[in-house]
Amino acid sequence: MSDLTDTTIFTLKELRAFSTAMFMHFGVPQEDAQLAAEVLDAADRRGIDSHGVARLYSYYEMLSSGRINPTPTLKVIRETLSTATIDGDNGLGLVVGPKSNRVAMEKAKHAGSGWVSVSNTNHYGIAGYYVLEALKYDLIGMSMTNSTKLVAPLWGAEKMLGTNPIAMAFPGLEEPPIVIDLATSAVAYGKVEMAHRAGLEVPDGWIIDEEGVSTTVPKQMMDGGALLPLGSDREHGGHKGYALSAMVDILCCVLSGANWGPFAPPFTLHLPQPSRSVGKGIGHFFGAWRIDGFIDPDEFKRQIDDWIRTFRATKPAAGTNGPLIPGDPEREMEKIRTVQGVPLLPAVISDLRRIADKIGVSFGDNRNGQ
């Protein structure tokens, strides 16, 4: 929806270096800063622009205001052979997330599967990053997080849940992996925001106004309304999207002791704090299954290849090129951006330059993006 003629291209490498420098400026240890930058890079690389450097200013604000601990000590609160609860010590989600995911993967190595619920953490980037990590070790990963309230439960007239994503990935042998990474809302908030800026209406089934009535005017969602859950209304399964979002909320937060539902603290200084606190920070949930805990991994991957080819060969719906495989669009984008770099909008560049000025690091000074 954005006008690409306005954008300026930056390489993944320079964006990653800049993110790393910013995190280090606030005292984040180098290794952690690189890890955090890697997670943002995964979003920029895969075309999920809302979760890459476009969000760096939020991290900047949260760090500079002291709302995030740059040097957290992660604590395992409770564990069994295949499960653990981790307190993220209010660190960057971009650091607490990858480290907690590693604990899940380590447990899987020994017990066949590993499951980690995390409290006292913050925005962790794209859910897909974590399950792509699991693929490196022949693990099937699962990744979930809660987030600031934006979505109404079906038949509700207010924001009560985050867009609460679910990710899982399956490796192929000759085919690239199937990568599932979906928000449990009907649509991403970014799309409503962009329509608002462009003065456009949105399709029916995306949003409700403050009375809980379906509307097509983005402003009415922003002024006390909400996003609808996946499925939109009762007739089309909105109760299912709500239930999936509830599942994510409970596994990430109730199980870990984080703030669930409407009590998730916002990841910005510009929104009011929730009316009460029911835990610590937000929550994530990570899982990993060893493929060879179930089946020979090569046999699994051969079947995944067959699955992918079979679904690609589905008779196409009129006017389409036929079904995609989950992860296709992001992989296509990654191919392009790895070579061509990442187009950034003027507003994003301006945010990054503000950060550059404040932390005394140069950013794209040889470009003509303002």
As measured in angstroms, the least distance from the Cβ of 29 to its own copies is 28
Q: Phi-psi bin for 245: left (phi > 0), alpha (psi -120 to 50), beta?
A: alpha
Q: How far apart are CA 143 and CA 20, in angstroms?
A: 24
| DSSP reduced 3-state for 33 | helix
As measured in angstroms, the least distance from the Cβ of 77 to its own copies is 8
Q: Phi-psi bin for 257: left (phi > 0), alpha (psi -120 to 50), beta?
A: left
Q: How far apart are CA 96 and CA 181, in angstroms?
A: 20
As measured in angstroms, the least distance from the Cβ of 293 to its own copies is 4
Residues in the chain: 370
Q: How far apart are CA 29 and CA 33, in angstroms?
A: 6
Q: How far apart are CA 263 and CA 273, in angstroms?
A: 8
Bridge-based pairing of strands 75-79 and 226-227 is unpaired
As measured in angstroms, the least distance from the Cβ of 308 to its own copies is 10
What are the tokens at 146? 């809660």
**Amino acid (1-letter code) at residue 137:** Y
Q: Which is nearer to its own copies, 33 or 116 (CB)?
A: 116
- Own/partner long-range contacts of 268-273 (Cβ < 8 Å, ≥24 apart): 268/58, 268/61, 268/62, 268/148, 269/61, 269/62, 269/65, 269/67, 271/148
Q: Which is nearer to its own copies, 28 or 288 (CB)?
A: 288
Q: Which is nearer to its own copies, 250 or 345 (CB)?
A: 250
Q: Which is nearer to its own copies, 53 or 253 (CB)?
A: 253
Q: How far apart are CA 129 and CA 123, in angstroms?
A: 13
Q: Which is nearer to its own copies, 201 or 357 (CB)?
A: 201
As measured in angstroms, the least distance from the Cβ of 356 to its own copies is 37
Q: How far apart are CA 222 and CA 193, in angstroms?
A: 9
Q: Which is nearer to its own copies, 281 or 369 (CB)?
A: 281
Q: How far apart are CA 88 and CA 95, in angstroms?
A: 9
Q: Which is nearer to its own copies, 18 or 300 (CB)?
A: 300
Q: Which is nearer to its own copies, 117 or 148 (CB)?
A: 117
As measured in angstroms, the least distance from the Cβ of 40 to its own copies is 24
As measured in angstroms, the least distance from the Cβ of 122 to its own copies is 20
Query: Is the Cβ–Cβ distance between 356 and 14 less than 8 Å?
Result: no
Q: Which is nearer to its own copies, 329 or 346 (CB)?
A: 329
As measured in angstroms, the least distance from the Cβ of 202 to its own copies is 9
As measured in angstroms, the least distance from the Cβ of 107 to its own copies is 9
Closest CA to 93 of 137, 25, 144, 153: 144
